[in-house]
Amino acid sequence: MNNNIFSRLQAISLAFLVGLWLILTAISPESAWAENYEKRTLIEADFSGQVLTDSEFDFANLRDSNFSHSDLRGVSLFGAKLQRTNFEGADLRYATLDTARFNRANLTNAILEGAFAYNTDFSDAIISGADFTDVLLRRDMQDKLCAVAEGTNPVTGRQTRDTLYCD
């Protein structure tokens, strides 16, 4: 009889936890804003100042778009075309940036802390004041970024050169 009561208590506890999880994930602010823009052509789109946490832009064409001062924490920009895109003051913490092309993008004062960017192309990007703390980069791209790194991020107080581990 004790095993039967214990089993029922376990089942009730599990049901309660699952229900609580469903309620909390349904009303979280992040999930309310997450959007899917995968494989879309959004050239010159204006996303400035928006909350886009956890949104997906995989393989999207976002050339010449504006994400300045946007909250992009946890977004996925995997394989996205981001040439000449403005990310000034954007929060890209823990974003997936792998294989994206940030050629000539403006990352002035952007926060990229914890982002995954191993095969990302940042050629000719403006990175003054950008925070690359704990960003996984290929060594050749790290060297290119270090050649132009300068400034201090106004939010984190970290120097760009220090966050890139420049010599």
**The pLDDT of residue 34:** 75
**The pLDDT of residue 33:** 55
**The pLDDT of residue 15:** 60
Q: b vs e for 127-157, b when ≥16 Cβ sit within 10 Å of the residue's Cβ?
A: bbbbbbbebebeeebbebbbeebebbbeeee
- What is the distance, to the nearest Å, from the Cα of residue 113 to the centroid of all Cα atoms in its chain? 8
Provide the pLDDT confidence category of residue 27 given band limits of 50, 70 and 90.
Answer: very low
Q: Which of 165, 137, 134, 135 is nearest to 149 (CA)?
A: 165
Q: For 69-107, what is each residue's pLDDT tens digit?
A: 999 999 999 999 999 999 999 999 999 999 999 999 999
Q: Which of 54, 17, 47, 49 is nearest to 32 (CA)?
A: 54
Q: How many CB atoms lie within 10 A of CB 98?
A: 18
Provide the pLDDT confidence category of residue 47 given band limits of 50, 70 and 90.
Answer: very high
